[in-house]
Structure 1
Amino acid sequence: MKKIKINGNRPLKGEVTISGAKNSAVALIPAAILADSPVTLEGVPDIQDVHSLIEILEIMGAKTKFENNQLEIDPREIVSVPMPSGKINSLRASYYFMGSLLGKFGEAVVGLPGGCYLGPRPIDLHIKGFEALGATVNNEHGAMYIRTEKGPLKATRIFMDMVSIGATINVMLAAVKAEGKTIIENAAREPEIIDVATLLNNMGAKIRGAGTDIIRIEGVNELHGCRHSIIPDRIEAGTYLAMAAAVGEGIVVKNVIFEHLESFIAKLQEIGVQMNIGEDEIEVLPSHDLKAVHVMTYPYPGFATDLQQPLTPLLLKAKGTAEITDTIYSKRVNHIPELARMGADATVEGNLIVLNGPNKLHGAEVVASDLRAGACLVIAGLMAEGTTTVYNVDYILRGYDHIIEKLTALGADIQMIEEEAEK
């Protein structure tokens, strides 16, 4: 058991560089197995989810080498084996192996996915997409058995009942080698989907329209290896921007694509955060007289659900009553009782988070319930008077590359402690 200990209320200053996107990496790694020769991914974040995916690849027979944020994957000896349920259960994004194994072998056996619990996140859209391409899907003993029993996958037109990043990517992975032209309508538009499509096109796929709500995929017979650089992580960037606004005395956030964060940056400006926006970096200036706003999450290009929790501590500094409505995951509220333990005037009323400010936070023992709740509590700990201890740190390590080192370099008094060692 690890925990993070923070001695808060210290101003932070300096530069922080954003790593490659977690939500891209966890899809790009399964996508690489579709190739018939080695794939090199550059800018891969050094996070727990990536190490779990590498383990799964090696169980399947792939050869991998991961150092200095570069991951080499040789998929030539991969065999279609049932996915180990332990790793799958801890890692929601492992469900992308469903689409890539189906595309490569015409079959997949994958344990039901886990990850952070944010309320129901059914995979019925994924299943509907696979079935539309001609696969049969059965749930047997807690695992999904996906097979093509009537010859190869056949291209089709698929309308997504709701916008889903996961289902859009999974259907893309399955459809790249299907016979004919597949059209995905009401597709998700996130930058990570463009990133996956770019990798697949570099491998020889024929995908058009990624980043719009209609994606067209012309099936090809084979895919080859290539080299691909992952986009910067817009959620990590947003987390550090919120933190810089909350406790910074001049912080430059580097390796940022502004267009990926427009809705978030617009909300920071509405709150009263002062910024200088450069080509690939954003300087956050010391900001005072912050004002409360209403935040509503939407699919991209709207305000990202993954950023409502990291933004919450900043809103606790703002004057007035702020409200947050998460239209994607209405149950994404478990950080609120933990903030209340730190002295925040924060409540959940139905599906609405209500924050009355400004607040002075004090250190406390708090528990991270998921990845972004963990980021929220770390920011709150940096703001608070006294010592904050954050438990369930593994959630945070799933998605933030070298968070302790990055914050320490900015001047934070923060450390990771192994519980056993302490005892």
Structure 2
Amino acid sequence: MSDSLGHLVDWFRHSSPFIHAHRGRTFVVSVGGEALTEDTAAGLVHDLALLSGLGIRVVLVPGARPQIEERLSHQGATIRYVNGLRVTDADALACVRDAVGSVRLELEALFSMGLANSPMAGLRLQVASGNFVTARPLGVRDGVDYLQTGEVRRIDTTAIRQRLDDGAVVLLSPLGVSPTGEQFNLYAEDVAVAAARGLQADKLLFLHEGQGLVDAQGEAIGELTVEQARDWLEPGEAVESPVIAQLARAVAACRGGVARVHLLPRARDGAILGELFSRDGVGTLVTPRAFERLRTAGVEDISGILALIAPLEADGTLVRRTRERLETEIGDFTVVEREGTVVACAALHPIPGTDAAEVACLVVHPDYRGGQRGRQLLRRLEDDARAVGRERLFVLTTRTAHWFQEQGFAPAPVNALPASRQAFYNLSRSSRVLSKPIG
């Protein structure tokens, strides 16, 4: 098998759990009009068409800011901003209508491509657009009449679901109509949030321009809970970033029932696929709760634990455990679960009739050893041991003695083990014994 074919096969095998998990789900995608001003537009549409082909229900909300600004410039007009909000007069609204219509037609054309040698060969994908968005005027605020600038009043979720049920990609416009027939200029991101909340979408994806969120060391931030995101949005605390406005909308979406919001770099080719079909993604995930969970293991985790510990059993680091043994001991295990995958585990075996408990099978997946997961697992086991009246922990290890010593364990002789555990000590492995008081 060639290297390229091998990589392709590996990618499919690793992405298959995500393909199964995403099928039948509703994803709302918000992208700025910049995406259609560059030669990357076709690639973006191909990726969205692929999502639809995999059974994902796609709602696309495109913006049109650069297209609107271009038309305004040609007419020598501008959109005035007051208090951070735009004022859309009649001349500006004409440019908005022209630009939004142009964007819609261009997207419909891209979704209709089906050349024999293209990624969409043989695909007949329907795009549904229409009066799905009901708007209302912003009105007069602080003495300022915002004219034809509006906000979302209602999303016709019933009609959208009907089109999605038919297999179409639904295209929502940032131009809404009121019950009186007036047209209003809307923020595309606000339309996306309203649609995601109304549909109770499984995911809302924002494609942003420029740099994403980074920490003080310049490292990309992969995940934020809503509470953590709020810290970025506190006055005087938020860093200058083009995604801060999207972050605020992400928080609003999560509060409205959207399970996950993803902030992705639009300029990165394949960002949507990289985010949805890999374990760690390529952007920032915002969720109501932590993306990664530390919890007691259940029988459904047995296969994941076996896959995690298999390489260490093969090289002799761990004693081999059968599935049957693991089934009987599963209640002693704690796991770290990330996106439905067990990425770390550890077991606590209290020794009956003693004040001791054994720490065993503490394993962190190689891709996740840069964080504090091992320490978090150990602290959890220490708390669990105290809760059942144990006053000391011990561990037997052949290769990780230094790490355990860094966590407060000290070398101990074999005869320091409880008698029942000494009886099963394997002399051929020559495991080092370490102990730690926790009382």
Q: Specify the TM-score bucket, using the shorter chain as the normaliser.
A: under 0.3
Between Structure 1 and Structure 2, which shows a larger proportion of helix residues? 2
Task: Provide TM-score, normalisation by structure 1.
Answer: 0.27
Higher gyration radius (CA): 2
| Structure of higher RCO (CA pairs closer than 8 Å, 6+ residues apart) | 1
TM-score, length basis structure 2:
0.27
